[in-house]
Amino acid sequence: MREPMIPRMSEEEAEAFYQQLIKEGYLREEDRPVWSMIRPERLKRLYQVLQERTRYVSVVLEAVDDGHNQAAVLRSAEAFGIQNISVVVGSAPFQPNKKVTQSAHKWVTIDRKPDIETAVKDLKAEGYQVLASYLGDDSESIDDVDLSKPTALLFGNEHNGISSEAAELADGKFIIPMRGFVQSLNISVAAAVTLYEITRRARIESGDNYYLTPQEKKDLFQQWVFTNLKPRVREKIQSEDEKEGSILR
């Protein structure tokens, strides 16, 4: 699916938008030779997407081994505006299928963790409650999950679900209510349904806390600008010793 098209901007409109970004701290005038390589319409698209980004909801993948499933979850997370994904590798490497991600992997922050205990402890230290997708009698419906605090959603292996250790470490467990004979969904489908519902509710219930802080937006915008540069330009920049605070660092 293609991104929404932004109408072509005139030189005057583009310059006015550049000045807005400079005033808001997203761009620096001295870096113009670099960011001017990117079409103003593309910069505007980055800016628009950034305003909807969240770390209030994040995702944890424990031993999701299939590359298609890995990619599908990343794609859903990015589509619903989720920035952070923690990954604990299982029996197969974490290598999302790039044809499936549709470049989603370039726009999210993937944090690889050595084990599920570290992943959960780190998230709790950052203020998250960790809720695990789990088919059990003590699981509550996603409709009833408390979203009064930042929430990390934990999804487990395609065949075995979350580990017993993850179940013990999690603050709670949730299920997607089923109305048919089938009582489970593929991990990628379950993640997509869950992320849609949880982000919808969290956006309403948490208000401004749902979105990135002004500084987080600026930092992420700079990363995305760098990502949008042509590979040869990025390589050249990376090989140079840029001054501290540059958009390129």
- Write out pLDDT tens, residues 64-115: 999 999 999 999 999 999 999 999 999 999 999 988 988 999 999 999 999 9
Read off the CATH number of the domain in which 93 is found: 3.40.1280.10
Residues 186 and 73 in one domain: yes
Residue 246 lies in a domain: no
> If pLDDT is split at 50, 70 and 90, which confidence band does 205 have?
very high
For 21, what's the count of Cα atoms within 13 Å in the CB-facing half-sphere?
31
Full-prediction pTM beyond 0.85?
A: yes
With CA atoms as reference, report the closest residue to 59 among 114, 101, 113: 113
* Predicted local confidence at residue 179, as pLDDT: 86
Q: Does 33 score more than 60 pLDDT?
A: yes
Residues 80 and 43 in one domain: no
Residues 104 and 185 in one domain: yes
Q: What are phi and psi of 125, to 5 degrees?
A: -65, -25
50-65, pLDDT tens digit by residue?
999 999 999 999 999 9
Residue 6 lies in a domain: no
Residue 5 lies in a domain: no
Quick check: 73 and 155 in contact, CB under 8 A?
yes
Once rounded to an integer, what is the mean pLDDT over residues 106-127?
Answer: 98
Quick check: 195 and 59 in contact, CB under 8 A?
yes
Strand partners, 130: 152
Residues 40 and 155 in one domain: no
Residue 157 lies in a domain: yes
Quick check: 70 and 61 in contact, CB under 8 A?
yes
> If pLDDT is split at 50, 70 and 90, which confidence band does 173 have?
very high
Quick check: 144 and 177 in contact, CB under 8 A?
no
> If pLDDT is split at 50, 70 and 90, which confidence band does 249 have?
very low
Rg (Cα) of the chain, in Å, rounded?
20
> If pLDDT is split at 50, 70 and 90, which confidence band does 2 have?
low
Residues 142 and 177 in one domain: yes
Once rounded to an integer, what is the mean pLDDT over residues 6-12?
Answer: 93
Containing 133, the helix (H) or strand (E) segment is strand 129-133
Quick check: 53 and 224 in contact, CB under 8 A?
no
Residues 75 and 165 in one domain: yes
Instruction: Tell me the pLDDT of the chain averaged across its residues.
Output: 93
| Structural domains of the chain, count | 2
Once rounded to an integer, what is the mean pLDDT over residues 147-168?
Answer: 96
* Predicted local confidence at residue 181, as pLDDT: 83
Higher pLDDT among residues 11 and 184, named by residue: 11
How are beta strands 172-175 and 129-133 bridged, if at all? Answer: parallel
By residue range, what is the domain housing residue 163?
Answer: 57-210
Higher pLDDT among residues 4 and 30, named by residue: 30
